[in-house]
Structure 1
Amino acid sequence: MLQSSTSNQPKSGSGAAPADYLLHLADNALVLGQRNAEWCGHAPILEEDLSMANNSLDLIGQARLLYQHAATLKGNGATEDTLAYFRDVPEFRNYTLLELPHSPALLPSAAAERDWATSVVRNFLYSSLMIMVWERLQQSADPQLAAIAAKSLKEVRYHLRHSRDWVIRLGDGTEESHRRAQSAVDHLLPYTDEFWTPNALESEVSASGTGIDVASLRAEWDQMVNETLAEATLTRPAAVKGYVTQGKQGIHSEHLGYLLAEMQSLARAHPGATW
């Protein structure tokens, strides 16, 4: 179980980012960290088993720092443990992209059908965004968030390099690896539309200088993604208009409930336990 080192008293001063914004960032990191950890013992080679485990530890470390900060702001007995383990699906604010199983086919059994291409393409799409987010959050008016961003930026640089190398390796590899990489791109790219949807909270933190409006990063993100896909000989699918996922608004796919049930079961079975 996560061990909190935060005070339960609200943070004083007006320079702190809203707790809900911190929870959005923390939930993203925690959920993807949990998903990537599912590769432990299952990656295609030992080196990648270790790489995914380290990626997960980085993300969970980011989540811890953000939850600690949010808990201090929220007060009323909140801790990193309560925020990670004792909130239900509608209270999580992560992007839907990050909770999907490791398969381009959203089947009930998909969790057992891990597809490496799906996982590395997802990591690439998310890391391409977060390298820009963390870089800009280093200038946040919230000094604690700025410090978290500086630490996280160093980690996400590796995450991006690792996932980008794999996207290129698979896309420009064998016929089978290309097929799998293209299938992952076709499946996952529509979920990234959620990055750019209007959000009152992001407008608020952008105006206060404590956070950023992610929609402003779209052109730079598109360029980074397009250049990588071209190098990987992959085709970006045409934009498809339709439902845009709303995970950051608390509206999730059915997959998050299963993920949280597995992640939270021990803490909920033994509330208050420490070791």
Structure 2
Amino acid sequence: MPELPEVETVRRGLEALVLGKTIDHVTVSLPRIIRMPDDVQQFALMLQGHTIDAVERRGKYLLLGIGPYTLVSHLRMEGRYGIYRSDEPMEKHTHVIFHFTDGTELRYKDVRQFGTMDLLPRGEYALLPGLASLGPEPLAESFTADVLQTALKNRRSGKIKVLLLDQTFVAGLGNIYVDEVLFQSGIHPEASGPDLQSEQIERLHAAIVAVLAQSVELGGSSVKSYVNGYGQEGGMQHLLKVYGHEDNPCPNCGTEIAKTRIGGRGTHFCPSCQPLDK
């Protein structure tokens, strides 16, 4: 958390809030947030005087085009951005502040302190470890059922839940939406991905696109602390069918939703609607 829909919602908010703003100076109070360059003073100096001209996303990464650089930001568990007036009180756990020439500030807050920022020349950011190995974008037109089928057939083994969480397989999916996608497609999370039949893969592809698109439309899921750039919660959490609903009746058949651990992650599913083929 956050996953693709939440990061896309943050991206859209930032695009509306900071696009065209020029950085006067940058304050960093927690240096380890900044990975590249390894000198926070150099980081601040590189950004000074440049204008934010693009706000994009790749998987769970935010990509801010700033002058000749791209700022690659990964929110990890609880990173969040907000726009403030310079005279507004500073909240706890605010670690990076982009001070704009118009008197506003973009503040990065991270209670868990797991988020990262990397500042690279525009032509080099795609080579950053993590970004370079990302799988296809699930909401891109190029992500078809055939692409998904080929990716599955290229894996010798692997439970479908684990594969979908692998960012080199498909970018942007996390624990919440994998559970929801598998429920909607009627596939057990422990099913072997490479052994899925064509009809199952068609359902899986449709579910990935539908669930993510719906969540983006609703502003993501505020299961824990997520809010968008305006400080607003998302609405998808009210429509989750299985995630977080263990011991509750399945909305389709009434069977009790089960919870187990797969690949070290809590996993929710309906034993009746998602049978494990032997």
> After TM superposition, is the score higher than 0.5?
no
TM-score by length of structure 2 reads: 0.28
TM-score by length of structure 1 reads: 0.28
More strand by share: 2
> Which one has more relative contact order, counting CA pairs under 8 Å at least 6 apart?
1
Kindly name which structure, 1 or 2, has the bigger radius of gyration based on alpha carbons: 2
